[in-house]
Amino acid sequence: MKKNKKDILALKANEYAAAAKEAENAVSMVSNAINRLKAANQRMDSNMKDIREYCANMMAIHDQMGKDHAHNEAVISNFSKLLCIEE
């Protein structure tokens, strides 16, 4: 009868070891997934930063073009008045 109890104890110890290994593997998989998501977010952050900088540069060019356009219109208007040209 003692041998039977030892067999059950060994069986339970093996089952526990298998469950512990399975839990360790599951935690490892989740940690790996979290790390991959963090890496993906870092790439997205970098891309969004590049896009923000690009947009800021485009808006600066757009604003300068608007100022230059308005200036040119004023010059055209003033020269037209000097030359008595109808607009």
How does pLDDT run across 12-68, given as a tens digit for each residue?
Answer: 999 999 999 999 999 999 999 999 999 999 999 999 999 999 999 999 999 999 999
Asked whether residue 1 carries a pLDDT value surpassing 60, the answer given is no
How would residue 87 be classed by pLDDT, with cut points 50, 70 and 90?
Answer: low
85 vs 61, higher pLDDT: 61
Query: In this predicted structure, what is the pLDDT of residue 51?
Result: 98
Q: Which residue do the tokens 């839990």 mark?
A: 23
Query: In this predicted structure, what is the pLDDT of residue 29?
Result: 98
Which pair of structure tokens corresponds to residue 21?
Answer: 């290994």
DSSP labels, 8-63 = HHHHHHHHHHHHHHHHHHHHHHHHHHHHHHHHHHHHHHHHHHHHHHHHHHHHHHHH
